[in-house]
Structure 1
Amino acid sequence: MGLGKQVVIIGGGIVGLSSAYYLQKEGYEVTVIDKTNMTSGASYVNAGFLTPSHIIPLASPGMIAKGLKMMFNSSSPFYMKPRWDTDFFKWAWYFHKSSTDSKVEKAIPVIKDINLLSRDLFEDIKASGDLGDFQLERNGLLMLYQTQSAFLHEKEVAERASDLGLEVAYLDKAQLKQKEPHVSIAAEGAIHYECDGHTTPTQIMPLLIAYLKKIGVNINENEIVQDLKVKSGRIEEVVTDKSSYRPEHVVMAAGSWSGLLSKKLGIDLPLQGGKGYRINVKRETGIQLPAILMEAKMAVTPMVGFTRFAGTMEFSGNNRIVRKERVNAIAAGAQRFYPNLSITDEELDDAQTGLRPVSPDGLPYIGKPSKIDNLVFATGHAMMGWSLGPATGKLVSEIIGNKKTSMNIEAFSPNRKF
């Protein structure tokens, strides 16, 4: 690479590709490097939600206690595998320190703002026609509950969301039946976040890759970053197993691997991979609206060509091991709420996993570290990576271009203390 407006983006998930999308539009010469063939991972197996309603960060009061309680039950929705790992211990301590009412209170408006920004950008991308046609629906999200305690817990969140101007409705059994006439649902009712939307990630990702290639973005698959050489507070060279690059700017969008790569720069970025699972049912299920099954702690999304059942947050290191008991727990949860639905052995065997990068406070890292002048972090989005892809990409392009950012990003600083 010669001199000029060169950017290397490490990571080809939704965040890395969204960054490439907006940077290319600003006239940068962009190269995306990804260690996979870019057909799997968190950007492909998520629930596809666009969720302004998800205003409470993962690090909220009581979560560590829940995690410890569930630690020895490997089929529980929130699972921390017991292991001797000092990075994990440090992260867990920071997570605990972040799980306070006051910190959650501070995070709520910021999470809402970036979600709304991203939802609008998804709409803009669709309207531009850049990617061609893709599923982008705004039918809201149902929070289905079977118990009064689950309803009351979510009602607090819904009231807060409503106070923030988000559209919320309460549905009893009869109203729920009107919304979902073609499927039997074992629920007492639902809170309907009308502000939310959904997509099919496996449809959007190939369209985005194809568009970026067409407009001149270099996308280098199956290429592993081995070293990042720093001189005078700048990354001078990105060395991979196939090549080396001397870009003007580097974007770290490597998901759950961002923390490990940051160590090569002498930066301690607290981050853990939180594994999620998905089951695709390619038969007609009758399900029309995306939902979260509250007591089962899992998501359901009607996508193009299939219905997706997704869930769990498993902290067991950066591996892609499929734990059968966790897949079975998702299937059982689905059947608890949709009694006429049974997931086949074949569908269970086809289950896939992805690792979401989870910061200790549940907020992403978006911005420059104090140590390295030409690096921008774009990672740590936890369960909101898909929702926040376009907003993060837009913010990255603004940071690199020294422009006023579309929102205040102070809360996302990679230099923040836990």
Structure 2
Amino acid sequence: MGKEVVVIGGGIIGLCSAYYLHNEGHQVVVIDKSNMDAGASYVNAGYLSPSHIIPLSAPGVMKKGLKWMFNPSSPLYIRPRLNPDFLKWAWAFNKSCNAEHVKRSGKAIRDISVLSQELFQDIIKTEKFNSHYEKKGLLMLCQTEETLWEEIQMVKKAISLGLSAKEVSVNDIKQIESNTIIESIGGTYFECDHHSTPHEFMIDMKMHLKKVGVSFFTNEKVVDLEIQNGTISKVKTQNQVLSADEFVLAAGSWSAFLSKKIGLKLLLQAGKGYRINTQRETKIKVPAILAEAKVAVTPMNGFTRFAGTMEIAGISDNINNIRVNAIAKAVNEYYPEVELNKEEKQEAASGLRPLSPDGLPYIGKSLKCYNLTIATGHAMMGWSMGTATGKLVSEIISDRQSSLDLSPFHIDRKF
């Protein structure tokens, strides 16, 4: 028997949850505080990347973060602040930055990412979406021997998990990307990775959901949750009150605020990323990551996107031009023929990615509330894990056997 379900959050996770919940026969309402046309689900690099098997909380990351703290153009910036939530998150993050955690996490990240690739393609085919999707792999371009060695170790880990990956020489890179000049001493190539144009899929998904009867309330901020006997009975926005049988919290970086309403102190921080688009011809045909600069390069449908940086400095949509310029500078250093102009940099946009301390998403129910399913904390992998997360959410609410082992993503896990 179908349930009434309210999904809080209209990003990739919320929409995919609504999609699979509707397919299971539930009556679904989606609420979002924005107009649902901007943010992390629209400005990301568009990767569906099983290759990203290493969580953000990897050995040495905190050390790098401290080193880069006073460099405003660094790939990772952590702004220190005397905020209890941040301090608890930072302590848990530091504890997670170890080799054992990385080893445990690899399989879970691979499994949910591979499933997402399959489901993403299935949705496009089944619903006859026009969304751009390609299987060209992903290049990791290196300019130093140290980074090249690190990326080769990553390839070995990927191969051990059954993923298609290999080291590539300068000549190999010229064969893969033959139309443009690349400054690199070599790199690696993940044939297992795919890419897409995010806003196209989001538009197609919203249109489909509206067509099949999913209700949307945009520009409505959830201000409170009414709790009775360990369950949510109503969700209150500034304009209305909605009741339902089940609720899904997929509000990205804002999820921690609402989780406090049920007495759950969800450790979560916002990680800001930036993107610059150019519609000029770049001759770039294959997605790449500029390894030292941590900048993603994606040839999308009709334009090329350059995305990067991780700025952990609280919730804000302000654009830091220093970080935008750092992305543009890195692009030119690796692709000498590509120089982003002033207008393109001025039109840069940002998105906030929800970061859990261990780099793994939160997916499931908490003991604090029986009818709330949480789906957040995907860090840079929200797009890569979105469809699978939506399916897992629908399986939880429909009391079905989960497609994946959910224990690595447990809401109440200890850090």
TM range (shorter): over 0.9
- Aligned match of 1:284 in 281, 296, 309? 281
- Aligned match of 1:169 in 163, 166, 171? 166
Q: Distance in 1 between matches of 2:97 and 2:150?
A: 17
- Equivalent residue number for residue 31 of structure 2: 33
Q: Distance in 2 between matches of 1:120 and 1:189?
A: 30
Q: Distance in 2 between matches of 1:163 and 1:81?
A: 36
Structure 2 residue identity aligned to 1:315: I
- Equivalent residue number for residue 62 of structure 1: 60
Q: Please tell me whether residue 115 in structure 1 is matched to residue 90 in structure 2.
A: no
Structure 2 residue identity aligned to 1:9: V
Deviates more, 1:361-370 or 1:75-84: 75-84
**Percentage of matched positions with identical amino acids:** 52
C-alpha contact (below 8 Å) 1:144/1:294 kept by paired residues:
yes
- Equivalent residue number for residue 179 of structure 1: 176
- Equivalent residue number for residue 402 of structure 1: 399
Runs in 1 of length 4+ with deviation above 2 angstroms? Answer: none
Q: Distance in 2 between matches of 1:334 and 1:182?
A: 16
Q: Could you give the per-residue CA deviations for residues 308-365 of structure 1, whole angstroms, max 9, x where no partner exists? A: 0000000111000100000000000101100111100000000000000000000000
- Aligned match of 2:375 in 355, 363, 378? 378
Q: State the SS of the aligned residue for 2:182.
A: coil
C-alpha contact (below 8 Å) 2:364/2:411 kept by paired residues:
yes
C-alpha contact (below 8 Å) 2:129/2:201 kept by paired residues:
no
Q: Distance in 2 between matches of 1:284 and 1:48?
A: 19
Structure 1 residue identity aligned to 2:220: E
Deviation at 1:181, TM superposition (A): 1.3
Q: State the SS of the aligned residue for 1:19.
A: helix
C-alpha contact (below 8 Å) 2:2/2:24 kept by paired residues:
no
TM-score normalised according to structure 1 size: 0.98
Q: State the SS of the aligned residue for 2:388.
A: helix
Q: Distance in 2 between matches of 1:401 and 1:138?
A: 33
> Aligned Cα RMSD in Å?
1.0
Q: Could you give the per-residue CA deviations for residues 70-94 of structure 1, whole angstroms, max 9, x where no partner exists? A: 1111111100113221111110000
Deviation at 1:177, TM superposition (A): 1.0
- Equivalent residue number for residue 341 of structure 1: 338
- Equivalent residue number for residue 218 of structure 2: 221
Q: Distance in 2 between matches of 1:121 and 1:132?
A: 13
Contiguous gaps of at least 5 residues in structure 2: none
Q: State the SS of the aligned residue for 2:92.
A: helix
Instruction: Report matched runs for 1:85-100 at 5 Å.
Output: 85-100=83-98
- Aligned match of 2:40 in 7, 32, 42? 42
Q: State the SS of the aligned residue for 1:339.
A: coil
Deviation at 1:169, TM superposition (A): 2.4
- Equivalent residue number for residue 268 of structure 1: 265
Q: Please tell me whether residue 313 in structure 1 is matched to residue 310 in structure 2.
A: yes
Q: Please tell me whether residue 352 in structure 1 is matched to residue 346 in structure 2.
A: no
Q: State the SS of the aligned residue for 1:149.
A: helix
Q: Please tell me whether residue 368 in structure 1 is matched to residue 361 in structure 2.
A: no
Q: Could you give the per-residue CA deviations for residues 71-130 of structure 1, whole angstroms, max 9, x where no partner exists? A: 1111111001132211111100000011111111111111111111111111111221x1
192 and 4 in structure 1: CA distance in 2 versus 1, 3 angstrom threshold? closer
Structure 2 residue identity aligned to 1:321: N
Q: Distance in 1 between matches of 2:2 and 2:175?
A: 58
Q: Distance in 1 between matches of 2:209 and 2:254?
A: 23
Q: Distance in 1 between matches of 2:224 and 2:96?
A: 32
Structure 2 residue identity aligned to 1:37: N
- Equivalent residue number for residue 14 of structure 1: 12
Q: Distance in 2 between matches of 1:4 and 1:150?
A: 52
- Equivalent residue number for residue 151 of structure 1: 148
C-alpha contact (below 8 Å) 1:52/1:195 kept by paired residues:
yes
Q: State the SS of the aligned residue for 2:248.
A: strand
Q: Distance in 1 between matches of 2:60 and 2:187?
A: 24
- Equivalent residue number for residue 389 of structure 2: 392
Structure 2 residue identity aligned to 1:163: S
Deviates more, 1:3-12 or 1:168-177: 3-12
Q: Distance in 1 between matches of 2:72 and 2:258?
A: 29
Q: State the SS of the aligned residue for 1:264.
A: helix
C-alpha contact (below 8 Å) 2:2/2:25 kept by paired residues:
no
- Aligned match of 1:83 in 81, 84, 87? 81
C-alpha contact (below 8 Å) 1:4/1:248 kept by paired residues:
no
- Equivalent residue number for residue 202 of structure 2: 205
C-alpha contact (below 8 Å) 2:130/2:204 kept by paired residues:
no
- Equivalent residue number for residue 256 of structure 2: 259
Q: State the SS of the aligned residue for 2:262.
A: coil
Q: Distance in 2 between matches of 1:98 and 1:83?
A: 20
Q: Distance in 1 between matches of 2:154 and 2:181?
A: 26
Q: Distance in 2 between matches of 1:97 and 1:131?
A: 45
Deviation at 1:28, TM superposition (A): 0.5
Deviation at 1:132, TM superposition (A): 1.9
Structure 1 residue identity aligned to 2:168: L
Deviation at 1:170, TM superposition (A): 2.2
131 and 207 in structure 1: CA distance in 2 versus 1, 3 angstrom threshold? farther
Structure 1 residue identity aligned to 2:108: V
TM-score normalised according to structure 2 size: 0.99
- Aligned match of 2:300 in 299, 303, 316? 303
